[in-house]
Amino acid sequence: MISLRDQIFNYKNIIIFSLHKKSLFTAIRRSLNFFYKLIIFIFKRFFINKNIQNFSSTSKQLNEIFVYFGTNKGSHLFIDNVKHQGHGYDIFYEKYFKVNRDKKINILEFGIHNGDSLAALHCYFPNSNIIGVDRNPFSSNYKSKRIRNLYCDVSSIRNLENLSSYLNNDYDYIIDDASHDPIHQKLTFFSMFKNLRSGGIFIIEEFNAFQAESGKDDAEKNFLRNLLLDTSKYSEKDLKAKYGLEIFNFFENVQNIEINKGAYSHRGVNISEIAFIKKK
């Protein structure tokens, strides 16, 4: 769906990001680039993009839908007719998704890429409304009245806070499948968790991708992962002592945390951890 209000928000967030970086030149360049990409996006939507409504999914399992759209969330995917290993997240997602499959729900996903994941979610949840968030919100190859695309650079706390204020606090699922940078994941989680409804679930994919890169022992990179792991191991007293009262109070709104390991490895390291954080 193309909304004038959304495009004004997108433009505003681009300017906020550029000025926060104290670069007037970047602000001007990105402004011009925004209008160029928006025009291309409108053209693609009307003449090129695939209409997801034409795909029937009433009897299909989640993994079949993931594979059909070529997202790497499932057991495998095909690139140029060559089969590749996927993350194998389907079995974990199915556990949390199936109870809401036919309900009217709201989903927010960070990371649009070509729109494959958004299309898969759209088809699995036939009564859902979905928002895809990306620093290039015009990259999707699909169209639907039930999908909106918004701009946000997840490296910017101001962009994230602006996005959080723009959206309602009624999302059933918020999925972080964006940069997979642990610093960005931390910013996104602490900024957007409040936009979940009670009982909603925040999902972080490739939660440990940084462990296959340099600096894997960096304390800041490990902060969020260690925090989520520690909440299931330590007492309230120990958590307060280790992380401080502010972090402890934040986690008073968390009902349950589950971390699973998928199937994809990079440089000999399994980087397919996925976290499900349920809000009270």
pLDDT, tens only, 93-134: 999 999 999 999 999 999 999 999 999 999 999 999 999 999
The whole-number pLDDT of residue 146 equals: 95
Confidence (pLDDT) at 58: 66
* Pick from 116, 131, 138, 118: nearest CA to 170: 131
Summarize pLDDT for 32-55 with one digit per residue, the tens. Answer: 999 999 999 999 999 999 999 777
Give the model's pLDDT for residue 37: 93
Asked if 186 and 219 count as a contact pair (C-beta separation under 8 A), the reply is no
Category of 218 on φ-ψ map: left (φ > 0), alpha (ψ -120 to 50) or beta: beta
Closest CA to 119 of 97, 92, 140: 140
Decide yes or no: CATH 3.40.50.150 for domain 4-279. Answer: yes
- Please, what is the end-to-end C-alpha distance for the chain in angstroms? 31
Instruction: With cut-offs at 50, 70 and 90, classify the pLDDT of residue 28.
Output: confident
User: Quick check: 1 and 145 in contact, CB under 8 A?
Assistant: yes
**What is the model's pTM?**
0.96
Mean pLDDT (whole number) for 264-273: 95
Gyration radius from the chain CA atoms: 19
For the record, the structure tokens of 161 come out as: 């806070």
Please work out, in degrees rounded to the nearest 5, the angle formed at the alpha carbon of residue 232 by the alpha carbons of 228 and 238.
90
CA angle 235, 240, 243 (to 5 degrees): 115
